[in-house]
Amino acid sequence: MFGKPSLAAAEFDFKLGVNTPETHPLTIRLAEAARLVGTQSSGRINITVFANSQLGGDPEMLSQVRAGGIELLAAPSMTLSTLVPLSGLPSIGFAFQSYDQVWAAMDGGVGGIVRDAIARSGVVPLKKVWDNGFRQITSSSSRQLNSVDDLKGFKIRVPVTALLTSLFSGLGALPSSISYSELYSALQTHIVEGQENPLAQVSTGKLYEVQKYCALSNHCWSGYWILGNRRAMAALPPDLLELINAAFDAAAVKERADLVAMDRSLQAELTEKGMTFNTPDPVQFRAALVKAGFYTRWQKTYGADAWAALEKYTGKLT
């Protein structure tokens, strides 16, 4: 067993912020990668993971990593899209049908396009994107969601991002942008009736305590990008930079597998905790979004080349 490198001995002391709780696979694998970097560098670099939005909400942490207040951030792709619009490209509604499509795209042409766009924004992305999962819709005891009609006037929390706001507006809901760190209280106090997140977030965030129903909509996939402050990363010697990239990219692959395994067991666990599940037909939602002009709007926003790159993996969307 290796001890944690002492802060006094470290040449470089980095803070890494993330919004997920300590029990989430993302946080666990981030901490594991951070320890590995410390060990393999013989204590030259110390990376401390601050989980559960300890360093602020996602928009605040994104500002901090750009300014240098923190050195590293696990940034949800949805939040990142406020700074780098193209990071929302893989989260187009009902685009991916499976993880095989997701990882082919994200380790291939779509990931390359997004990574290049992130690099141009003033922060340094690591190569591998981490999994946040396919997103599902939960609701309070007052409403179960089975159809597009059930979403009419539904007050739903979405991340601070235009993409999901337009998706749910196109489905007739009333989306409200609220930071993840404020989500539980917003549900508890009925500021919103429901929310959408992967099951892992529903479980580790204990959202089942304030939500009754879960519609397995798989309405979009989202991930996390590991971002570095440009000045902090540029100050690292090449060997330490290589250590960070290798450790975190290897951990990303493990986290992807963790989340799939966790997802398989979560429906049963959440059912035991009182949630009721249903599986709506995605065809009706796609049709409503086509009618609302959702795909046409985002094709224009992202541009023909980026859209064509996405459709190479998803098939025709418009």
Instruction: Please report the pLDDT score of residue 298 as a whole number.
Output: 97
Q: What sign does the dihedral 26-29-35-38 (CA atoms) show?
A: negative
pTM of the entire predicted model: 0.89
Provide the residue ranges of all domains of the chain, joining segments of one domain with +: 12-132+223-265, 134-220+270-299
Q: What is the pLDDT of residues 279-317, one digit of tens each?
A: 999 999 999 999 999 999 999 999 999 999 999 999 999
Counting as low any pLDDT under 70, the low residues of the chain are: 1-8
Instruction: Please report the pLDDT score of residue 99 as a whole number.
Output: 96
| Degrees, nearest 5: CA angle 182-249-218 | 50
- H helices of the chain, in order, are 25-40, 58-67, 77-80, 99-106, 109-119, 162-170, 183-188, 199-204, 230-234, 238-272, 282-291, 294-302, 304-314
Instruction: Please report the pLDDT score of residue 5 as a whole number.
Output: 43
Instruction: Return d(Cα 85, Cα 269) in angstroms, integer.
Output: 35
- H helices of 68-150, in order, are 77-80, 99-106, 109-119
Question: Which residue, among 275, 312, 309, 250, has the nearest Cα to 89 in the 3D structure?
Answer: 309
Instruction: Please report the pLDDT score of residue 3 as a whole number.
Output: 39
Strand partners for 118: none
Q: What is the pLDDT of residues 235-252, one digit of tens each?
A: 999 999 999 999 999 999
The CATH-assigned architecture of domain 134-220+270-299 is: 3-Layer(aba) Sandwich (3.40)
Chain-centroid distance of CA 280 in Å reads: 23
**Superfamily grouping for domain 12-132+223-265:** Bacterial extracellular solute-binding protein, family 7 (3.40.190.170)
Question: By the 8 A CB rule, do 151 and 172 touch?
Answer: yes
Question: Which residue, among 64, 33, 43, 91, has the nearest Cα to 221 in the 3D structure?
Answer: 91
The β-bridge relationship of strands 276-278 and 213-215 is: parallel
Instruction: Return d(Cα 51, Cα 204) in angstroms, integer.
Output: 12
Strand partners for 117: none
Question: By the 8 A CB rule, do 14 and 44 touch?
Answer: no
Question: By the 8 A CB rule, do 52 and 21 touch?
Answer: yes
Instruction: Please report the pLDDT score of residue 8 as a whole number.
Output: 55
Question: Do 12-132+223-265 and 134-220+270-299 share a fold?
Answer: yes
Instruction: Return d(Cα 80, Cα 26) in angstroms, integer.
Output: 17
Instruction: Return d(Cα 156, Cα 284) in angstroms, integer.
Output: 19
Chain-centroid distance of CA 65 in Å reads: 17
Question: Which residue, among 2, 19, 35, has the nearest Cα to 180 in the 3D structure?
Answer: 19
